[in-house]
Amino acid sequence: MNRLARGVTVGVGVALAVALVVALLELPAAAIHLPGTVAQHLAQSGVEHPVTAVLLNFRGWDTLLEVAVLLLALLTLLTLSGGQAAVAAVEADPLLQGLARKALPLIILMAGYLLWAGAHRPGGAFQAGAVLAAGAVLLQLAGLLPAWAAPGRLLRLGLTLGFLVFLAVAAALLGQGALLQYPPASAGGLILLIEAGLTLSLGLILAGLFLFVTGRRA
């Protein structure tokens, strides 16, 4: 890119920022009050934490498709790196290995706590899955867990379990009218079931984004 084009692009970027700042400052107040609506319906959602209620009940549809997007991204990544042999694991650092061994139980405990806490305070499947994935990456970096080759049957089941459980619940509820509209009495249990599946699958998918790719050479 030559100097002129570069200068023009930066100028357009600055103009965009100024225009957006002016627009934000002159924006009228919102016509609808979403926090109020959420608070109103929170009692029927089956959980006490509003963010979890939005994620898995009021807008469960979005979350279902989001897990599908994650699976799709992982599948594409697998196709890209397919046919490449993973090189041997990184050399072992005894200090890091000791730390990782000590940290692993705490990481799993923390993921379980976050999953459980999601019903009534900040936490939930996404954070728990992210913590699990971070644990797997730590193990790989310490040389305790080899990089993953092509997924076997068990790993495939683990990767898709969250999506399948979510889909099964959605399909079972279809008979009652609307998609993903839980009956208030069993909403809490269903959400916990979906979140448990999601935690495992999100952890494996996010870990897979790293472990299926790292240490490979064409």
Interface residues toward another protein, by CB under 8 A: 1, 6, 9-10, 12-14, 16-17, 20-21, 24-25, 27, 29-30, 34-35, 38, 50-51, 53-55, 58-59, 62-63, 66, 69-70, 73-74, 76-77, 80-81, 114, 122-124, 126-127, 130-131, 133-134, 137, 141, 202, 205-206, 209-210, 213-214, 216-218
Choose between 1 and 175: whose C-beta lies nearer to another protein.
1
Q: Report the C-alpha gap between 209 and 54 in whole angstroms.
A: 27
At closest approach, how far in Å is the CB of 171 from another protein? 21
At closest approach, how far in Å is the CB of 7 from another protein? 10
Q: Which long-range contacts (CB under 8 A, 24 or more apart) does 41-47 make?
A: 44/184, 44/187, 45/184, 45/187, 46/182, 46/184, 46/186, 46/187, 46/188, 46/189, 46/190, 46/191, 47/118, 47/119, 47/120, 47/187, 47/188, 47/191
Q: Report the C-alpha gap between 192 and 101 in whole angstroms.
A: 29
Q: Report the C-alpha gap between 135 and 103 in whole angstroms.
A: 8
At closest approach, how far in Å is the CB of 140 from another protein? 9
Choose between 65 and 157: whose C-beta lies nearer to another protein.
65
Residues forming a β-bridge with 216 = 86
Choose between 66 and 170: whose C-beta lies nearer to another protein.
66
In angstroms, the Cα distances linking 168 to 171, 172, 181 are 5, 6, 13
Single-letter amino acid code for the residue at 66: E
At closest approach, how far in Å is the CB of 217 from another protein? 7
Choose between 84 and 176: whose C-beta lies nearer to another protein.
84
Choose between 181 and 214: whose C-beta lies nearer to another protein.
214
Beta strands in 51-124 (DSSP E): none
Of 110, 123, 136, 132, which is closest to residue 191 (Cα–Cα)?
123
State the Cα angle at 69 between 107 and 161, rounded to 5°: 55
Choose between 25 and 185: whose C-beta lies nearer to another protein.
25
At closest approach, how far in Å is the CB of 175 from another protein? 27
At closest approach, how far in Å is the CB of 134 from another protein? 5
